[in-house]
Each structure stands twice: as structure tokens, then as C-alpha cells.
Amino acid sequence: SVAENGNITMEIMYTVHVFVKSLLFVLLWSNCEGRESELNYVTCGSLVKLLNTRHNVRLHSHDVKYGSGSGQQSVTGVENADDANSYWQIRGKPNRPCQRGAAIRCGQAIRITHMKTGRNLHTHHFSSPLSNNQEVSAFGENGEGDDLDVWAVQCDGVHWERDEAVRFKHVGTDVFLSVTGEQYGHPIRGQREVHGMSSPSQHNWWRSMEGVFIQPSQEPLRHDEL
């Protein structure tokens, strides 16, 4: 009868053991799922490539100036996905830096700075060379230009989601960043014209693609005694 008691105790312990392990496994699994959804926003300080969803080209710039209009650095749309000249950094307005890693809100005013040349996405009252819309250029030095460098992110919802198509409306001239398909010849053959248009349409949807997305950090530890 001692042996029988021993067996029953063993069985109970075994069942408890299995139960606890399963519970822990379920908790671990659900925690894994939960964490992935935080990584879905475009955040302050991130580098992104922006794809025009209607024409399948990425926003791009390079050290080539417009031959007409303002004569500033040109901004185009390119087909290939592996050019570092298609990276742009998302930054706050002049003199109002955004907090590193904070998700960009829908409606927030930002600057879009070309990584390689340090010039800001910019538009002004000049005509674009191919379609006579408003010229969009890259302007400034080391990330500093002027008040016409600011764009508002238009999207539904609260924050700019990485896999969502958004519009960029210029603060100042109220045009939307657009592509309608006109192509340049030599020396940038095949690249599309990027310009500003006054009405929203299917030509001004943009989606974030490749990039380096900064996550919010914890505050550095505070030590109250050394």
C-alpha cells in the first residue's frame, strides 16, 4: 500500500509538471507574437526607400542638376531596388527635432533628407522639365535648407505604418509628391520625373520599402547613488 501511494504521488507530480510546462510554453509563444507588432511604424531618424505604388519606382536623387527651372539637384524615380541613392532620412521640422525612434503621426510635418547628398526634398514655384507640373528638387547642405523643405504625411489612422500607402503634401505650396510616368533621356535614361501636383490622385501614393527603422530606446539608467 506504501508502493501504491508512492505511485499516485508520482502520477500527480507528473501531471502538474506537464501542466506547468505547457502553460509556460503558451505564455512564451504569445509573448513572441506580441513583440512583432511594435516594429511596424516609420519612426523619427529612420532611413527609408519610398516606392510610388502606381508606377513602381523608388524616390531617388543624385549629384545631377536640373538643366532648367531652378537648376538645383534633381529628384527622380528609379526602377532598381539596390541603389543607396534611394535612401532618405525622416527628420523633424527645422529647429524642432523629433525624438529618435518615435513613430511618425499621420499629419505630422517632417523633412525628408537625401542620405548620400544631405539635401532635403524640396519644392517651389518652378516648372518641372517634362510635364510642366511643379518642380521637386533636393535642396540645402548637411540637412539644413529652408522652410520649403517641410512635408506633411497624410494617412488614415494614428501613425505612419510601414506597409501602408501614404501621401506627402507640401507645407507651403500644398502640392502632393507625384509621379505620372514621363521618362528622362541621357544621362539618366529611364528615370521618371518626380513633381508636385495640386490634387490627390492614384499617382501620389507612396509606400516605405527597404530601410533602417529605428526603434524607441529606453531612457539611460539613472543612478541615484554613485
- Would you tell me which residues interact with other proteins (CB under 8 A)? 21, 24-25, 27-29, 31-32, 39, 45, 47, 81-85, 87, 89, 97, 100-101, 115, 143, 209-215, 217-226
Closer Cβ to other proteins, 3 or 84, answer by number: 84
Beta carbon of residue 63, minimum distance to other proteins (angstroms, whole number): 14
Closer Cβ to other proteins, 4 or 82, answer by number: 82
Closer Cβ to other proteins, 46 or 191, answer by number: 46
CA atoms of 49 and 157, how far apart (whole Å): 21
Beta carbon of residue 82, minimum distance to other proteins (angstroms, whole number): 5
Length reported for the chain: 226
Closer Cβ to other proteins, 156 or 163, answer by number: 163
The three-class DSSP label of residue 124 is: strand
Name the nearest CA neighbour of 88 among 48, 138, 118, 56.
48
Beta carbon of residue 8, minimum distance to other proteins (angstroms, whole number): 24
Q: What DSSP line would sit under 47-112, residue for residue?
A: EEEEEETTTTEEEEEEEEE-SSTT--EEEEEES-S--GGG-EEEE-BTTBPPPTTPBPBTT-EEEE
Beta carbon of residue 171, minimum distance to other proteins (angstroms, whole number): 22
Q: Which residues pair with 164 in a beta bridge?
A: none
Beta carbon of residue 132, minimum distance to other proteins (angstroms, whole number): 33
The values of phi and psi at residue 91, to 5°, are -135, 170
Closer Cβ to other proteins, 47 or 152, answer by number: 47
